[in-house]
Amino acid sequence: MSEPRAGHRNASPHTALTRAIGSRMSYTQRGYAWRRTLARLRTRPFASGLTLLVLGIVLAMPVLLSFLAGALDELRGNEDQGATLTAYLSLDVADLDGASLATQLAARPGIQSTRYVSRDEALATFRAESDLGDALDVLGSNPLPGAIVIAPERATAGRQRMQALATEIEQISDIERVRYDLQWVERLRAVVAVARVAAALLAGFLTLTALLVVGNTIRLELLDRRSEREVSHLLGASRSFMNRPFVYTGLLYGLLGGLIATGLAIAAFSLLKRPADELAGLYGAQMGLSWPPKALIGLIPATGALLGLVGALSTLYGPSRQRIYADA
């Protein structure tokens, strides 16, 4: 038995009591549970920190994947919306006729809008966007045809429907040919579909891992706080009273792990965003990866807390509880 501390032994009873008594909240049953939970985190900062980091990393992956899936969905949606057909007119079609044809096409079902691009406008654009402008001067006349840019309705988007629309428009006498380039959008859609399934599977596995991490942490805590449980049991504590600090521990680990995961996922997304935007630019996309909505980001710590709670409850009240209580 170690010797008592001399300083405290000389303390007046009133001083000692004043120092000893905690806050009003900490003597309620829930306050007591929170106090014990926080005290455990404080007294084992390294072990607690490591557990939180593991949880944060495990949760960050599905979070990042959900960020990416959402951003790719949005990107795909934008490309679907931005997909257009370009109908090139015969060289002898006058601007007035071309514009009139564009108006007629806009009235057709399946077409949302049209825009007539005159031969002069096409030439000006070509000069501005290519290095071959000077070469056109050699030709003496404008070799570029007028064109009608056709934006189909959203319901018409999709490779087969666009193909059908293009064939239909090509039948019109003043139109030489119709060009559309949706292959990369189709490929992106397929890649996103596969990625979504893979992400869902990975997210499932990682969520299960997070549950196991929390469960195992609670199990170790149970073993470590065996004497507290024994004493509480002898003093007439109910199982819910004894389990409450462990439930709160799971909740807190989940919440803090979720916050760490949010930070990690945002950092990783920031790193990925720039090269992804550049890649999207190479495919002519008007916009790259966009940030997930704030509400989704806010949900992550809450989801982490829920996972922590489920992990703790399943350990304390699930099928393995008899074995745990026998060990503890």
Partner 1 sequence: MITFDSVSLRYSGGKAALENISFSLETGSFTFLTGHSGAGKSSLLRLIARLERPTSGRIDVGGIDYSRLKPRRELALRRQMGVIFQDNQLLNDRNLFDNVALPLIIGGYGYNDIVTRVSAALHRVGLEHAADMQPETLSGGEQQRAGIARALVARPRLLLADEPTGNLDAAMSEDIMQLLLQFHRSGVTVLFATHDTELLARHRFAQLKLAGGRSVSPRGLSDTSLAQHQIPRRSESHV
Q: Is 294 in the site for partner 1 (CB under 8 A)?
A: no
Nearer to partner 1, 19 or 294 (CB): 19
Supply the minimum distance, in Å, between the C-beta of residue 276 and partner 1. 49
Three-class SS state of 175:
strand
Q: Provide the CB-side half-sphere exposure for 303 (13 A, CA).
A: 18
Nearer to partner 1, 26 or 86 (CB): 26
Q: Where are the alpha helices (DSSP H) in 107-181?
A: 119-129, 133-139, 159-170
Supply the minimum distance, in Å, between the C-beta of residue 41 and partner 1. 12
How many residues lie near partner 1 (CB under 8 A)?
35
Q: Across-strand partners of 87? A: 148, 178
Q: Is 24 in the site for partner 1 (CB under 8 A)?
A: yes
Supply the minimum distance, in Å, between the C-beta of residue 235 and partner 1. 5
- Please pick, from the candidates 139, 235, 295, 326, the single residue that binds partner 1 as defined by CB under 8 A: 235
DSSP string over 63-109: HHHHHHHHHHHHHHHHHHHH--EEEEEPTT--HHHHHHHHHHHHTST
Question: Given the rule CB under 8 A, which of 10-18, 71-79, 122-130, 190-198 is the region that contacts partner 1?
Answer: 10-18
Look at residues 307, 314, 315 and name the one whose alpha carbon lies nearest to residue 59: 307
From the CB of residue 169, how many other CB atoms can be counted at a distance below 10 Å? 18
Nearer to partner 1, 35 or 219 (CB): 35
Supply the minimum distance, in Å, between the C-beta of residue 247 and partner 1. 17
- Please pick, from the candidates 28, 125, 216, 286, the single residue that binds partner 1 as defined by CB under 8 A: 28
Q: Pattern 131-170, binding to partner 1, x per CB under 8 A?
A: ----------------------------------------
Nearer to partner 1, 126 or 241 (CB): 241
- Please pick, from the candidates 106, 212, 237, 272, the single residue that binds partner 1 as defined by CB under 8 A: 237
Supply the minimum distance, in Å, between the C-beta of residue 51 and partner 1. 19
Residues between 35 and 74 with contacts to partner 1, criterion CB under 8 A:
39, 43
Q: Is 220 in the site for partner 1 (CB under 8 A)?
A: no
Nearer to partner 1, 159 or 239 (CB): 239
From the CB of residue 64, how many other CB atoms can be counted at a distance below 10 Å? 20
Look at residues 222, 321, 304, 234 and name the one whose alpha carbon lies nearest to residue 264: 304
Q: For residue 15, is it left (φ>0), alpha (ψ between -120 and 50) or beta?
A: alpha
How far are the Cα atoms of 91, 137, 145, 173 from residue 141, in angstroms, in the given order?
A: 11, 8, 11, 24
DSSP string over 281-296: HHTT-S----PPPHHH
Look at residues 179, 73, 160, 67 and name the one whose alpha carbon lies nearest to residue 117: 179
Cα(200)–Cα(196) distance, rounded to whole angstroms?
Answer: 6
From the CB of residue 82, how many other CB atoms can be counted at a distance below 10 Å? 14
Question: Given the rule CB under 8 A, which of 4-12, 75-83, 168-176, 200-208 is the region that contacts partner 1?
Answer: 4-12
Q: Is 236 in the site for partner 1 (CB under 8 A)?
A: yes
Nearer to partner 1, 241 or 291 (CB): 241
Nearer to partner 1, 8 or 108 (CB): 8
Cα(60)–Cα(123) distance, rounded to whole angstroms?
Answer: 51
Query: Interface with partner 1 by CB under 8 A: which residues?
Result: 1-5, 8-9, 11-13, 16-17, 19-22, 24, 27-29, 32, 39, 43, 227-228, 230-238, 241
